[in-house]
C-alpha cells in the first residue's frame, strides 16, 4: 500500500512496489488521456532549495497532466527561509496547503526531517550528494521500456560515483533485481562511498567491478549510465577542474559498444557525452527525461491513493 507514504530513500520502495509504479507509468505513457482527471482537486507543493530543471518541472507537468494543481518555490531566496525559518516550521505550515510535497535540498537528510513534521506525503527530489529516488524510478522505467525486463543486465555507471545521488539511489535499487552486474567506472577520487558498496554487496551479494577505464568495458555492457562530475559538491575548484574531463563519450568510443546498448544519463550533461552522440539510436537520455514525467505521475497518483 503506497497511499500516504513518504518516499525519501531508494530503499523505501520494495521491488513489488517499484513494479507497481513502473507498470502504472507504462499505462500512463501508452494512454495519457485516460488519466487526465486522476488528481483533480489535489495540490502538489514543490519546495526546491537547490537548482533544478527536470525534476521540478517534470513533477509539475506530472501533476498538471492528471488535472491537479501546483504551488511552491524554486528559489529559497524568495521564501521565508531567507528570514531564518527552519524546515520543520516550513513543512508544518505547507503540509496544510498541499496534499503532497516534493522537496529538493542541498543538505543530506533535509527531506527526511521534513517528513517527520509533515501531515502529507513528502517525496525527496534530491538531497545533497545522498539520494534521488524519483530519478531512479525514471531510470528503471527506462530500462523496463527498452529492455522489457529489469533482470540479467550488466550496467556500467560512469562518472562521479562519490557525489552523484542518482547513482547512489540507482545502485541501492537495481541491486535488488535478479542477476544485475555493475561495472563502476570513475576516477579513483570519485569512487562510490565505501559504506554503500559494502552494504550492497553484503545485503544482496551482487557482482561489482570497479575500474577507471571506460574504454576497456564499454564493449560488453547492456546499459551505460553516464553522469556529470558534481561540481557543486567539490571542496575546491582546482580539484573539479582536474577531474571534469575524466570521461568524454564520443562516437568513436561508442563504436566498440553493443548494437543494443541502452545509453542513459540523468541530465544535465556538461561535457561527458559529446553532442554527436545524440544522433546515435542507442542514446536514450532525452527519452529517459520524457519517461520521467510518467514515473512521477504514477508515484503521485499512488501516494494519493488515486491510481484508478
Ligand atoms: C540529477 C541530480 O539533480 O542529481 N539531475 C536530475 O535530477 N536529473 C543529476 C545531476 O545533477 O547531475
Report the CATH number at residue 248: 3.40.50.1370
Do 169 and 147 belong together in one domain? yes
Report how far Cα 76 is from the mean position of its chain's Cα atoms. Answer: 22
pLDDT tens string 112-128: 999 999 999 999 999 99
What atom in ligand 1 is closest to the CA of residue 289? 8
Pairing of β 262-264 and β 180-185: unpaired
Do 154 and 253 belong together in one domain? yes
Any bridge partners for residue 223, and if so which?
155, 262
Question: 191 vs 157, 179, 196, 210, 212, CA distance in Å?
Answer: 11, 22, 11, 8, 9
Do 264 and 153 belong together in one domain? yes
What atom in ligand 1 is closest to the CA of residue 55? 7
Q: What is the dihedral of CA 170, 74, 40, 302, to 10 degrees?
A: 20
Sheet-wide strand order for 100-105: 69-73, 43-48, 100-105, 122-127
Residue 3 lies in a domain: no
- Expressed in angstroms and rounded, the spacing between residue 6 Cα and the centre of ligand 1 is 20
Residue 5 lies in a domain: no
Residue 262 lies in a domain: yes
CA distance 287 to 144: 13
Question: Residue 54: pLDDT band by 50, 70, 90 thresholds?
Answer: confident
CA distance 175 to 188: 22
pLDDT at 123: 98
What atom in ligand 1 is closest to the CA of residue 104? 3
pLDDT at 75: 82
- Expressed in angstroms and rounded, the spacing between residue 52 Cα and the centre of ligand 1 is 8
Question: Residues 124, 296: contact at Cβ < 8 Å?
Answer: no
Do 160 and 245 belong together in one domain? yes
Do 275 and 186 belong together in one domain? yes
pLDDT tens string 225-250: 999 999 999 989 999 999 999 999 99
CA distance 248 to 18: 32
- Expressed in angstroms and rounded, the spacing between residue 232 Cα and the centre of ligand 1 is 11
Q: What are phi and psi of 102, to 5 degrees?
A: -120, 130
Tell me which residue range forms the domain holding 297.
10-132+292-303
Residue 279 lies in a domain: yes
Per DSSP, the three-state class of 133 is helix
* Mean pLDDT value across residues 165-189: 97
Nearest Cα residue to atom 12 of ligand 1: 228
Do 70 and 163 belong together in one domain? no
The catalytic residue positions are 54-55, 83, 104, 132
* Mean pLDDT value across residues 68-78: 88
Residue 52 lies in a domain: yes
CA distance 102 to 114: 10
Nearest Cα residue to atom 3 of ligand 1: 126
* Mean pLDDT value across residues 140-156: 98
Do 152 and 222 belong together in one domain? yes
CA distance 58 to 291: 10
Nearest Cα residue to atom 7 of ligand 1: 55
Do 138 and 277 belong together in one domain? yes
pLDDT tens string 251-296: 999 999 999 999 999 999 999 999 999 999 999 999 999 999 999 9
Do 49 and 79 belong together in one domain? yes
Q: Which of 135, 289, 292 has the most ligand 1 atoms within 8 A of CB, as the residue to mutate?
A: 135
Do 159 and 34 belong together in one domain? no
pTM comes to 0.96
On the question of pLDDT at 218 being above 80, the answer is yes
Question: 252 vs 191, 236, 247, 256, 276, CA distance in Å?
Answer: 25, 32, 13, 8, 10
On the question of pLDDT at 308 being above 70, the answer is no
Residue 2 lies in a domain: no
Do 96 and 175 belong together in one domain? no
Question: Residues 94, 294: contact at Cβ < 8 Å?
Answer: no
Do 70 and 145 belong together in one domain? no
pLDDT more than 70, % of the chain: 99
Question: Residues 301, 66: contact at Cβ < 8 Å?
Answer: yes
Ligand 1 pocket at CB < 6 A: 54-55, 126, 132, 135, 165-166, 227-228, 266-268
Residue 210 lies in a domain: yes
Residue 56 lies in a domain: yes
Question: What is the total count of domains within the chain?
Answer: 2
pLDDT at 84: 74
Amino acid at each position: 500500500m503506497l497511499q500516504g507514504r513518504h518516499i525519501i530513500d531508494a530503499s523505501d520502495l520494495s521491488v513489488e512496489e517499484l513494479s507497481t509504479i513502473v507498470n502504472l507509468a507504462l499505462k500512463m505513457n501508452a494512454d495519457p488521456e485516460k488519466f487526465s482527471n486522476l488528481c483533480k482537486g489535489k495540490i502538489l507543493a514543490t519546495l526546491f532549495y537547490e537548482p533544478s530543471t527536470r525534476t521540478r518541472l517534470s513533477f509539475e507537468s506530472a501533476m498538471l497532466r492528471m488535472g491537479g494543481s501546483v504551488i511552491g518555490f524554486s528559489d529559497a531566496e524568495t521564501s521565508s527561509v531567507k528570514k531564518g525559518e527552519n524546515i520543520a516550521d516550513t513543512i508544518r505550515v505547507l503540509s496544510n496547503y498541499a496534499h503532497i510535497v516534493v522537496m529538493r535540498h542541498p543538505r543530506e537528510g533535509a527531506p527526511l526531517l521534513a517528513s517527520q513534521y509533515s501531515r502529507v506525503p513528502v517525496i525527496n527530489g534530491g538531497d545533497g550528494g545522498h539520494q534521488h529516488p524519483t530519478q531512479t524510478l525514471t531510470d528503471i522505467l527506462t530500462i523496463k521500456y527498452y529492455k522489457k525486463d529489469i533482470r540479467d543486465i550488466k550496467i556500467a555507471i560512469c562518472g562521479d560515483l562519490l557525489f552523484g545521488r542518482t547513482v547512489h539511489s540507482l545502485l541501492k535499487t537495481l541491486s535488488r533485481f535478479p542477476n544485475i552486474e555493475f561495472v563502476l567506472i570513475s576516477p579513483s577520487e570519485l569512487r562510490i562511498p565505501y559504506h554503500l558498496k559494502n552494504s550492497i554487496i553484503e545485503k544482496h551479494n551482487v557482482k561489482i567491478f570497479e575500474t577507471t577505464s571506460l574504454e576497456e568495458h564499454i564493449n560488453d555492457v547492456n546499459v551505460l549510465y553516464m553522469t556529470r562530475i558534481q561540481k557543486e559538491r567539490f571542496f575546491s575548484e582546482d580539484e573539479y577542474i582536474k577531474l571534469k574531463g575524466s570521461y568524454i563519450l564520443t562516437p568513436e568510443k561508442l563504436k566498440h559498444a553493443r548494437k543494443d546498448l541502452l545509453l542513459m544519463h540523468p541530465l544535465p550533461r556538461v561535457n561527458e557525452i559529446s553532442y554527436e552522440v545524440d544522433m546515435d539510436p542507442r542514446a536514450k537520455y532525452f527519452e529517459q527525461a520524457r519517461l520521467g514525467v510518467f514515473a512521477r505521475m504514477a508515484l503521485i497518483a499512488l501516494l494519493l491513493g488515486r491510481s484508478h
